[in-house]
Amino acid sequence: MKTIEVCLSPALYEFHSNTEEYIVVIVDVLRATTSFCAAFDSGVEIIIPVQGLDELLEYKNKGYYTAAEREGEKVDFADFGNSPSVFLKSSLIGKQLAYSTTNGTKAVELAKRNGNIAAAAFVNLQAMSHWLSVQQKNIVILCSGWKNTFCLEDSLCAGALVEALEMSGKFSPMCDAAVASFTLWQNSKTNLAEVVKEANHFQRLLKLGLHDDLRHSFRLNCSNAIPVWNGKGFVDNSERVKAFG
Amino acid sequence: MKTIEVCLSPALYEFHSNTEEYIVVIVDVLRATTSFCAAFDSGVEIIIPVQGLDELLEYKNKGYYTAAEREGEKVDFADFGNSPSVFLKSSLIGKQLAYSTTNGTKAVELAKRNGNIAAAAFVNLQAMSHWLSVQQKNIVILCSGWKNTFCLEDSLCAGALVEALEMSGKFSPMCDAAVASFTLWQNSKTNLAEVVKEANHFQRLLKLGLHDDLRHSFRLNCSNAIPVWNGKGFVDNSERVKAFG
């Protein structure tokens, strides 16, 4: 039996107790990990998370496509913001994308110390939980949050992952945050659209008029993307899973 | 309308967003804040939180009563551990108590930067929420957790406080952690004894055979204590509340 832990904020990552080999699953429902899935669904080859905008500009100058968001809004010089619905409408086959966001890329930076990283959201819940269930490794779900505070939508997605992984019969939750996330998800899954309206970051993005993104981000299992870290960036492992059967 | 925030771990305290004057309500159900209430119920005059054991020994040498716990167990030289049921059985009228625990006193240390501090647990939920509701200040509930990780029992108690304060009509939750804690509490309050058995720290104390403490810590409203910081330590404000009517 493998274990599942949940870190409710990047600021709690250093305190998780997993010591054996594990996979860090980054969750940033609004919107980085949802956008990663959308970008892969539109054909992106690799997503390279970048913390600062200076570094992102260097990538742009080297010919990479760039995506960047600060405080929920697109950064001027970038080709894309952090919008899954915009990625879905774009054709990006074979493109390399450098990516910088307020919270998601910070979580990636932390997780890099560990070699095994994946990215999950509601949109790829089934694809990701299936992929995780065949990896035979402990799991630490890292909620990206908002500036190190707890985000309801990330915790709900973590809870949905805990549910799916428990149902595989191969995992059990090993911390209170995993139990609490599971409970929150159980309590919300039949009226998710209503519950997430209470979330601060949902309201923040609503004020920016991002209705399409908000609708898309809570649509379960509409993406087959399995974003997995390859040492340089995230690549889509979905074909490999199919090969595994 | 005043606001309620919840910090799910001491490591998240620096990220809470309250800027106006507020009261920090420390919650450490298992067992520091439950024990504070029990000590006051047995007549203690003041509880002085102390971080290190060296400093605690100095207090002992000065004639203070001492209480100390590490990893759930009583520290040898101290007069008391961190056991509410032992405090309840003791006569401590007028005694001054220096107190050091794994997590609770760390939370106090953080909260000291703010002048207004109170301590809550399930045992004094009603007394504390009534006292808070007449203070006309914003509230930040600081869950002590376990070595900076999230603890289910503290979050449930925070949720119960959020419920009681919202019912007063004077407060509204302003962060996702307050909403989530409230939801967890709603989902658990009719079967609290069952739910808390899933908590890691409950299991840790169960293994130490602390059945009396575990039973007592989830008994609602059995204490009238209102532990409030006076600049040097916690004193019981319960008489003052009665005077306020």
- Domains of chain A: which residue ranges? 2-234
pLDDT of A183 above 90: yes
pLDDT score for B39: 97
* Whether A149 and B180 lie within 8 Å, measured CB to CB: no
**Arithmetic mean of pLDDT, B158-169:** 97
ipTM of the complex: 0.93
Name the DSSP class of B147. T
Beta bridge partners of A168: none
**Arithmetic mean of pLDDT, B86-109:** 91
> Treating both helix axes as pointing N-terminal to C-terminal, what angle do A176-188 and B152-167 enclose, rounded to 10 degrees?
50
Geometric angle at alpha carbon A68, from A65 and A74, rounded to 5° = 115
**Arithmetic mean of pLDDT, A176-201:** 96
State the DSSP H helix or E strand holding residue A41, giving kind and residue range, or none if neither.
Answer: helix A32-41
- Of the candidates B11, B155, B176, the beta carbon closest to that of A200 is on B176
In a mutational test of the B interface, the residue from A6, A30, A143, A149 whose CB has the highest number of chain B CBs within 10 Å is: A149
pLDDT score for B245: 37
Chain-wide mean pLDDT for chain B?
93
Angstrom distance (rounded) from CA A157 to CA B185 = 19
* Whether A176 and B16 lie within 8 Å, measured CB to CB: no
**Confidence band, pLDDT 50/70/90 cuts, at residue A30:** very high
pTM of the model: 0.94
Looking at this protein, which amino acid is placed at residue B9? S
Instruction: Give residue-wise pLDDT tens across range B7-51.
Output: 999 999 999 877 789 999 999 999 999 999 999 999 999 999 998
Shortest CA gap B164–chain A (Å): 19
Chain A residue numbers with beta carbons less than 8 Å from the beta carbon of B9 are: 8-9, 11-12, 15
Could you give phi then psi for residue A217, rounded to 5 degrees?
Answer: -65, -20
* Whether B150 and A176 lie within 8 Å, measured CB to CB: yes
Beta bridge partners of B234: B47, B229
Chain-wide mean pLDDT for chain A?
94
Q: How far is CA B12 from CA A65, A144, B143, in A?
A: 35, 13, 10
- B233 close to B48: Cβ distance less than 8 angstroms: yes
Shortest CA gap B152–chain A (Å): 5
- The larger pLDDT score, comparing residue B20 to residue A79, is at A79
Domain range A2-234, its CATH number among 3.30.230.70, 3.20.20.100, 3.90.1560.10, 3.40.1020.10? 3.90.1560.10
- State whether the Cα torsion A67-A31-A33-A145 is positive or negative: positive
Look at the domain B2-233 and name its fold: putative 2-phosphosulfolactate phosphatase (3.90.1560)
* Whether B149 and A15 lie within 8 Å, measured CB to CB: yes
Shortest CA gap B148–chain A (Å): 7
**Confidence band, pLDDT 50/70/90 cuts, at residue B240:** very low
- B8 close to B143: Cβ distance less than 8 angstroms: yes
pLDDT score for A17: 77
pLDDT score for B20: 82
Is the Cβ of A151 closer than 8 Å to some Cβ of chain B? Answer: yes
- CB burial of residue A71 (10 Å; 0-12, 13-18, 19+): exposed
- Dmax (CA) of chain B: 48
Instruction: Give residue-wise pLDDT tens across range A118-170.
Output: 999 999 999 999 999 999 999 999 999 999 999 999 999 999 999 999 999 99
Reduce the DSSP state of residue A72 to 3 states and report it.
Answer: coil
Q: Which residues contact A107 (CB under 8 A, 6 or more apart)?
A: A10, A13, A26, A28, A142, A143, A144
Return the half-sphere exposure (C-beta side, CA atoms, 13 A cut-off) of residue A225: 32
- Percent of chain A surpassing pLDDT 70: 98
pLDDT score for B19: 74
Is the Cβ of A179 closer than 8 Å to some Cβ of chain B? Answer: yes
Angstrom distance (rounded) from CA A114 to CA A33 = 18
Reduce the DSSP state of residue A200 to 3 states and report it.
Answer: helix
Structure tokens at B191: 């079967």
* Whether A152 and B180 lie within 8 Å, measured CB to CB: yes
Tokens 């009583």 belong to residue? B74
Q: For residue A35, which of A120, A109, A115 has the smallest C-alpha distance?
A: A120
Reduce the DSSP state of residue A50 to 3 states and report it.
Answer: coil
Q: How far is CA B132 from CA A101, A161, B221, B238, in A?
A: 39, 38, 15, 12
- B37 close to B227: Cβ distance less than 8 angstroms: yes
Strand-strand pairing, B46-49 and B96-100: parallel
* Peptide bond preceding B215 in cis form (omega within 30 of 0): no
Shortest CA gap A191–chain B (Å): 14
